[in-house]
Amino acid sequence: MQAPPNRLVHASAPAEEEPDMLCSSAWLDLSDGPVVLSVPGTHGHYYAATLVDMWAGVFASVGPRTTGTGAGSYALCGPGWAGAPLPPGIEPLDAPTSCVRVSIRTYAGAGADAARAVQAGFGVRPLSEWRCARDFVAAERASLDLARADVDALQAADFFTELGRLAALHGGAPDIPTDAPMLESGAARGRESVRAAAEELFERAGGGWELCYATGHYGDDRALRAAAAYAGVADRPATDRLIARLRTDADGVPLSGRRPYSLRFEDGALPPVRAFWSLSAHGRQGAGSSWSTAGGLALERDGALSIRLQSGTARAAGAPNWLRTPPGVFELVLRLTWPGEEALERRWSPPPVTREG
């Protein structure tokens, strides 16, 4: 989503990679003073507002996990700001860089209308204008694949020129060689290293599952920062949303929409969350459906939960818990929103998916 600085824009529909969330985003320029983020009272409706600095580090989060679901206003203050005291009711949040990103995800699994009503209560504006009326700006969310392609298409000299400009503004400048051939070869190696590191963010667990435990805190590890940004998880710390993905069944065979599968959670082994969890299937030929605990759980008599994974229709699947899979090879994505400590401490992982028939 694109907009001028200090302008919050809202996705008009959930993105394919996150079918249970509506996203809102803004880039804030703090060089002229604080910018106020306002959040509404949501009466328990889940959202997570993640604040990310210029180098892909999460420096604060606002939402049920950290601040609750009441209304609030937060002044994001850039480095070295020492202005007048803030008005009553506004809490300061110190930002490590003068340009930061606000990324808000609002739960939409129970219906987009309820999520849009919550979205309408979010706002950003400079402190000098914070009592002014807010505009609601809707936009299509930008594709992560297109963003990666834009970066990959940059010539090495252009990339490092832009990096140097940003580093001069926000600190953290790396040593940049001046030799053009060295820049080109280094950029090529860097792209491959970042792609590999992005894959390694997902740790292997049992049953073929891979889980991303990225925290948003990377210290001096620039490669890890770049990997998190490239993988699209820089604004989704695992403490807010733990992501697991699966590409093969229990026998190590790639998942395919031509076959039916079953995912069975035994009694007491459901994903440990304080909010909710969801499941969706994604393939090269399009996405399947999504399934969320918000719709209720149809448990078996022994307390287990079985989810049928199959292309076609729910009637054909013949199961109360059913997820439509796309045609061809697909990937299964499980999202734990506000995960429990058991999951974050790697003491829980999803069960394998078994092929039926």
Backbone angles phi, psi at 52, to 5 degrees: -120, 135
Comparing 23 with 83, the larger pLDDT belongs to 23
Amino acid identity, residue 118? Answer: V
User: How many angstroms separate the most distant Cα atoms in the chain?
Assistant: 70
Q: Is the pLDDT of residue 44 over 60?
A: yes
CATH class of 9-141: mainly beta
Contact present, 215 and 250 (Cβ < 8 Å): no
Contact present, 256 and 327 (Cβ < 8 Å): no
Torsion (CA) 65, 122, 336, 223 in degrees, nearest 10:
-90
Position 317 scores a pLDDT of 55
- Comma-separated ranges of CATH 2.60.40.1610 domains in the chain: 9-141
CATH class of 226-355: mainly beta
Position 270 scores a pLDDT of 95
Position 142 scores a pLDDT of 57
User: If pLDDT is split at 50, 70 and 90, which confidence band does 252 have?
Assistant: very high
- Comma-separated ranges of CATH 2.60.120.600 domains in the chain: 226-355
Q: Is the pLDDT of residue 137 over 70?
A: no
Q: Is the pLDDT of residue 33 over 60?
A: yes
Amino acid identity, residue 14? Answer: P
Position 135 scores a pLDDT of 58
Q: Is the pLDDT of residue 204 over 90?
A: yes
* Average pLDDT score over the chain: 86
For residue 124, what are the contacts with CB-CB under 8 A and spacing of at least 6? 6, 7, 8, 26, 28, 35, 36, 37, 38, 102
